A and B are shown apart, each in its own frame.
Chain A
Amino acid sequence: MKRRLAWLTGDARADRVVPPTGAPARLTLLTSAAMAFLAVFALTLSLATGRLAERWSQALADGATIRISAPPEQMAAQTKVVLDILAVTPGVASARALDPAETRALLAPWFGPDLPVESLPIPALVELREDAAGLDAEGLRLRLAAEVPGAVFDDHARWRRPLVEAAGRLRALGLVSLALIGGVAAAMVTLAARAALAANGQVIRVLRLIGARDAYIARAFVRRFTLRALAGAAAGTLAGMVAVALLPNADAAGGFLTGLGLSGTGWLWPLAIPPFAAIVAFWATRAAAFRTLREVQ
């Protein structure tokens, strides 16, 4: 390990045996920066959509209501039947009938505070919470339809489920993008390293003639490209993080997009991008170097 570190920091003399590899090295620097910039967004997307999916499915599991429409004199009885059914339904953590005051509070924004709820044919509401296992919504619907025809089960899922699914899909796409970015970076570094090796055929020949081992020659190239990839990725990551930090705060708009961007420990993840880029560059260059060197007599 210590030798590895010494290898990264020191021995400029060994590095000098290969002349500066201008264009391929610059290409590595630039692509690493661009790829790191993209990687920050892919990572942000995965983290944010992951959080959204979690939050939405939490909300999904949390709240569901049953609306009971019945003539006023049967309302209490039907509500009781519904509560009895819920009491024996697996997956229901708790259930409770909203009292008239709560119902009035719900309607107040539309009808004002003085609505005589009791004398109007307004449905009663039963609020229920699912437990972690979740309940069988279809089964519950069928049972309610059979026993309390006026009761309608609304589990909010009708509009939220596709959102949760979409968020999950986005998260997966974000991860796929990350993998693709890593792959493209590896391919670019490989090409750049091969170009550098090809341009230095004569240098490699001379080094071999005077007894340099393949590992020694490879190292000069690997070191160079690894450091370039690290520097480029660091710059790209920094730029990407600044761009994410400057994303407008969607909270103000009050939509579902709250929490796009990074938060809390999420900010630590992008810091893994530069070392990861360096590792990718290290192995890509090393593989390219040894393959090319074996082709040289």
Chain B
Amino acid sequence: MIEFQDVAHGYGGGRLLSDMTLSLPPGSFHFLTGPSGAGKSTFLKLCYGELSPVAGRISVFGQTIAGMSRDDIARLRRRIGVVHQDCQFLDHLPLAENVALPLTVSNRAANPTELDELLAWVGLSGQAASLPPSLSGGERQRAALARAVITSPEVLLADEPTGNLDWEMSLRLLTLLVELNRMGTAILVATHDMNLIRAAKAQVSARVLRIRGGQVQVAGAEL
């Protein structure tokens, strides 16, 4: 459902990523790993059209991103849940409204009980009325996950979702991701936490993509 064909990207004329050809099928579980600065976030941004490739073709749900209108990109993003590395909340709205925002912007109202359940699922029932700046890093990341899944997206892209979490919480979050995947959501998690990847492999058949030297490779079993 996400397909890259000879995709290349770079900032300011350089080449950060090149010759990427790969496909993420529906219902799959992928990890994207690589050293800091390798281009993991860049890869995810290409997937939901925040960045456009300098070469090659990216298609999502069978549509090529290049040449999409701004409205089409907006519609595309409603079908993809994204946990951004820096979370990206509206700081003036309480957490519950932030989580419900993807529904709000498509003129739908969140079902209050479902919203409560979702917040409980990520362990944030008590923080529904808090403003995002008053939350801890881990709480923000869990809230970002809740917001990413509120529309029941077909794909979930998560950028370092465990970056601010302790190991116990990371495992909890992993469990949530695995649960989602079992319900049919395709998942791509960018992380450099090898322990997390190992823990996941014990639960689902996850493929690991590694960015090395500007190329994306499928990592072997050596993990």
Instruction: Enumerate chain A interface residues (CB-CB to B < 8 A).
Output: 13-14, 16-17, 19, 203, 205-216, 294, 297
Within 8 A of A (CB), among B46-78: 48, 50, 70-71, 74-78
Bound complex: CA A19 to CA B106 (Å): 19
Within 8 A of A (CB), among B95-133: 97, 101-102, 104-107, 109
The answer on a CB contact under 8 Å between A297 and B71 is: no
Please tell me if B212 contacts chain A, counting CB pairs below 8 Å: no
Taking CB as reference atom, which chain A residue is nearest B92?
A19
**Using Cβ atoms and an 8 Å threshold, which residues of chain B touch A16?**
93, 97
The answer on a CB contact under 8 Å between A211 and B50 is: no
The answer on a CB contact under 8 Å between A206 and B89 is: yes
**Using Cβ atoms and an 8 Å threshold, which residues of chain B touch A297?**
50
**Using Cβ atoms and an 8 Å threshold, which residues of chain B touch A17?**
90, 93, 101, 104-105
For B74, give its contact among A205, A212, A294 (CB under 8 Å).
A212
The answer on a CB contact under 8 Å between A209 and B105 is: no
User: What are 20 contact pairs spanning A and B, CB under 8 A?
Assistant: A13-B104, A14-B107, A203-B90, A205-B88, A206-B88, A206-B89, A207-B90, A208-B74, A210-B78, A210-B147, A211-B74, A211-B77, A211-B78, A211-B102, A211-B106, A212-B105, A213-B70, A213-B75, A214-B71, A294-B70
CB proximity of B110 to chain A, nearest CB, Å: 10
Bound complex: CA A213 to CA B89 (Å): 17
Bound complex: CA A17 to CA B90 (Å): 8
CB proximity of A209 to chain B, nearest CB, Å: 6
Given contacts A17-B101, A210-B82, A211-B75, 10 further A-B contacts (CB under 8 A): A17-B105, A205-B88, A206-B88, A206-B89, A209-B84, A209-B88, A211-B77, A212-B105, A213-B70, A297-B50
**Using Cβ atoms and an 8 Å threshold, which residues of chain A touch B75?**
211, 213
CB proximity of A16 to chain B, nearest CB, Å: 7
**Using Cβ atoms and an 8 Å threshold, which residues of chain B touch A203?**
90
With A19-B92, A216-B105 as known contacts, state yes or no: A210 contacts B97, CB within 8 Å.
Answer: no
CB proximity of A287 to chain B, nearest CB, Å: 16
Tell me which of A207, A211, A216 has the highest count of chain B C-beta atoms within 10 A of its own C-beta. A211
Bound complex: CA A297 to CA B74 (Å): 12
Taking CB as reference atom, which chain B residue is nearest A296?
B70
Task: Give the secondary structure class of A's interface.
Answer: helix
**Using Cβ atoms and an 8 Å threshold, which residues of chain B touch A210?**
77-78, 82, 101-102, 105, 147
For chain B, give the interface size range: 20 to 34
CB proximity of A130 to chain B, nearest CB, Å: 66
With A14-B104, A17-B104, A211-B106 as known contacts, state yes or no: A206 contacts B74, CB within 8 Å.
Answer: no
Taking CB as reference atom, which chain B residue is nearest A16?
B93
The answer on a CB contact under 8 Å between A209 and B104 is: no
Bound complex: CA A212 to CA B104 (Å): 9
For B70, give its contact among A19, A206, A214 (CB under 8 Å).
A214
**Using Cβ atoms and an 8 Å threshold, which residues of chain B touch A19?**
90, 92
CB proximity of A119 to chain B, nearest CB, Å: 97
Bound complex: CA A169 to CA B77 (Å): 59
The answer on a CB contact under 8 Å between A209 and B92 is: no
Nearest 3 CB-CB pairings of A with B: A211-B77, A212-B105, A211-B78
**Using Cβ atoms and an 8 Å threshold, which residues of chain A touch B78?**
210-211
**Using Cβ atoms and an 8 Å threshold, which residues of chain A touch B74?**
208, 211-214
The answer on a CB contact under 8 Å between B105 and A207 is: yes
Taking CB as reference atom, which chain A residue is nearest B76?
A211
Bound complex: CA A297 to CA B101 (Å): 20
**Using Cβ atoms and an 8 Å threshold, which residues of chain A touch B102?**
210-211
**Using Cβ atoms and an 8 Å threshold, which residues of chain B touch A207?**
90, 101, 105
CB proximity of B24 to chain A, nearest CB, Å: 19
CB proximity of A150 to chain B, nearest CB, Å: 86
Bound complex: CA A203 to CA B77 (Å): 16
Bound complex: CA A13 to CA B104 (Å): 8
**Using Cβ atoms and an 8 Å threshold, which residues of chain A touch B93?**
16-17
Bound complex: CA A206 to CA B93 (Å): 12
**Using Cβ atoms and an 8 Å threshold, which residues of chain B touch A213?**
70-71, 74-75, 105
Bound complex: CA A151 to CA B76 (Å): 92
CB proximity of B86 to chain A, nearest CB, Å: 10
Bound complex: CA A209 to CA B147 (Å): 12
